[in-house]
Structure 1
Amino acid sequence: MSRLKFLLFIFLLWIIRSDVQSQQISKEELIFLTPEWKGERFPDGRPKVPDNIVKRMKSVSQEEAWAVMKNAGYGYQVAEGWQLINPDSVLVGRAVTATFMPARPDVWGAIDARGKKAGKKGQNSWPVDLLVKGDVYVADQFGAHRNGPTIGDNVGNAIYAKSGNGIVYDGALRDIEGLKEIGGFTSFYSSYDPSYHNPPGDLNTMIIGINQPTRIRTVTVMPGDIVLGKQGIVSFIPPHLAEKVVKTSEVVRLRDMFGHLRLREGKYSAGQIDAKWSDEIEKDFSKWLNDHINELPVPKEQIQELLKDRTW
């Protein structure tokens, strides 16, 4: 291959890469904006919290997650006021973010042309193409209602097929009956409307950002945040705090189990359990952990680590 052809080939690759990443944050910028995360990342730079932490997050209460985040200085990570699909289920996964804005013809046209050049179709499907198992699609649809829905049962099925999860969507959904038929599509959304986005003659929605920082209610959400949706609210846990949230929750859960058991047995009073535990209770707790290590709803390895660090 001649030098000229080689340079032309590199240039074309750069053009294609730029088009494919339409509206998507660069890897370098995403790494820059998530400096506290020291672990593995996806190829695009998104933090990749380990699967076992994501799985264990499902048992974390909103109060436990909030307390850890609040103590770390993250006091505004909870979004509330949702309608739900599968309200008795828990939504957990790594955030893939999308930001929509009211459409402006010149900007929409430029964005759409770049996407079509890369072989893309409707803008509402672009973030969906990036999803992998364990992701949660998190979209700021600026609360759009009439002629606002970018997700119905077709896109919903595509999201679930790729991620195995539902969504957090600050806007209106359509085809709610069809979405409810997707068994595991646990979702938090703002409203329902049977219309759809960008009907003929009414250009009203365009995608501005994919896997960029986005706003969901009063929360700044970053790609790779761990989404915890349960009890009607959604917490967005920064990746570097995810393991601490899980481990703190597990310790609290074990202490609660032990405390409630001893209260039912009448061994200790409510005042003793509800206050700072005495050395006697702490020793009893350690023995209880060791005696029941294979029966407790916390990984055995985590209990062993807890016992190793205890002085009682």
Structure 2
Amino acid sequence: MIYYTREQIIELTQLWQGERLPDGRPKVADHLLEKLKSMTLEEIWLPLYMKDYRFQFEGELKPLHAGKKLVGRAVTATFMPTRPDLMDGIKRERGTKGYSGTCNQWVVDNLSEGDVVVADMYNKIWNGTFLGGNLTTAINIKTKSGGAVIWGGVRDIEQMEKIDTQVYFRGTDPTPIRECLMASYNGPTRIGAAVCMPGDVVFGTKSGVLFIPAHLVEDVVNSAQKTQAKDIFGFAMLALGKYTAAEIDSTIWTLDMVNEMIFFLDTDPSGEQYRGLDWSMEINAAHGDQAAIDELMKGYLI
């Protein structure tokens, strides 16, 4: 089994230049995680897609708690079907590392506050139940606000529903976890059509799960906040009859509209949290700067 070391995780995530967790995973700031909780999937997805991160979303998952959002830092695990010689090696490794129990228990035992288990169980549901009532309780205690994303099964669903921890999964079965083993821990993994790296921010909504690369979180949050600010201003102007829907929906606003929006955000109570955002690209586009226009149009042309 491959246990990615701190040095290997840093190499994998070298675009991240900020603080790191003891195991080497990027530690995205808590205040950014809090901001994400008020944002929508579409607000977050678009700037990632525009930066060519095209395989970050998976919608074919079931949420344990309908409507409960999940935001946290990914701890990844990749499983595969068992074979005797490989299992013997993992059992020897388990002894040298002092682990006990099954591989899924090892992952949960090493979680910390804010972590989200992201486990590729290769869509195994029968004999592929990564979580049940006990391990979901352990996740709740260890991570507090964290949870799990399982490309496989869970069991004890009636017990799990009583625990205030969000879990996304493929299906349920009464069988325990069997005939599988963990091939890698805290390395790149796949959840359906999406790719997740250790330390990615897991963004779970009622629509599905998005994995945000740590080094892009701040940019994504700023972009989403600008979308929210434009919506607040746009809704207010439509209510007043000041601008038409076509003008508000336009990708490139006039200079008058941009300046009026900035004044609105600076003076209206609804714009307080959006004050200080950088609108230079929108201003440059309004002046006819082609580079700024091209950048803003990316979101329209996808």
| Band the TM-score falls in, shorter-chain normalisation | 0.7 to 0.9
The 2-side partners of 1:261 and 1:23 are apart by 54
The 2-side partners of 1:155 and 1:252 are apart by 38
The 2-side partners of 1:118 and 1:172 are apart by 27
TM superposition shift of 1:117: 3.3
The 2-side partners of 1:160 and 1:61 are apart by 24
- Corresponding position: 1:306 with 2:278: yes
Query: Given residue 179 of structure 1, which amino acid in structure 2 is its aligned partner?
Result: M
- How does the TM-score come out when normalised to structure 1? 0.85
* Residues matched between the structures, number: 281
**Identity percentage of aligned residues:** 36
Instruction: Name the CA shift for 1:229/1:132 in 2 (closer, same or farther; >3 Å).
Output: same
Output aligned runs, 1:1-312, within 5 Å.
23-122=2-101, 123-164=103-144, 165-183=146-164, 185-198=165-178, 204-275=179-250, 276-292=252-268, 295-296=270-271, 298=273, 303-306=275-278
The 2-side partners of 1:69 and 1:206 are apart by 32
Residue by residue over 1:81-132, the C-alpha shift from the partner in whole angstroms, topping out at 9 and shown as x without a partner, is 1111112111111100111111112211221222133321112211112211
Query: Given residue 124 of structure 1, which amino acid in structure 2 is its aligned partner?
Result: N
The 2-side partners of 1:139 and 1:127 are apart by 9
SS in 2 for 1:145: strand
SS in 2 for 1:168: strand
Give structure 2 stretches of 5+ with no counterpart: 287-302
The 2-side partners of 1:191 and 1:141 are apart by 11
The 1-side partners of 2:191 and 2:15 are apart by 21
Tell me which protein shows more strand as a share of its residues: 2
The 2-side partners of 1:134 and 1:168 are apart by 14
Q: Is the 8 A contact 2:75 2:199 kept in 1?
A: yes
Q: Is the 8 A contact 2:63 2:206 kept in 1?
A: no
Give structure 1 stretches of 5+ with no counterpart: 1-21, 199-203
SS in 1 for 2:276: helix
Query: Given residue 160 of structure 2, which amino acid in structure 1 is its aligned partner?
Result: L
Instruction: Name the CA shift for 1:236/1:102 in 2 (closer, same or farther; >3 Å).
Output: same
Bigger CA radius of gyration: 1
The 2-side partners of 1:307 and 1:252 are apart by 11
TM superposition shift of 1:297: 6.9
SS in 1 for 2:130: coil
SS in 1 for 2:128: coil
The 2-side partners of 1:78 and 1:124 are apart by 24
Q: Root-mean-square deviation (CA), in Å?
A: 1.9
Q: Is the 8 A contact 1:87 1:232 kept in 2?
A: no
Deviates more, 1:235-244 or 1:126-135: 126-135
- How does the TM-score come out when normalised to structure 2? 0.87
Q: Is the 8 A contact 2:78 2:120 kept in 1?
A: yes
Query: Given residue 149 of structure 2, which amino acid in structure 1 is its aligned partner?
Result: V
Query: Given residue 134 of structure 2, which amino acid in structure 1 is its aligned partner?
Result: N
TM superposition shift of 1:305: 4.2
The 2-side partners of 1:115 and 1:143 are apart by 25
Q: Is the 8 A contact 1:131 1:163 kept in 2?
A: yes
Deviates more, 1:172-181 or 1:272-281: 272-281
Q: Is the 8 A contact 2:222 2:277 kept in 1?
A: no
The 2-side partners of 1:157 and 1:25 are apart by 26
TM superposition shift of 1:179: 0.7
SS in 1 for 2:32: helix
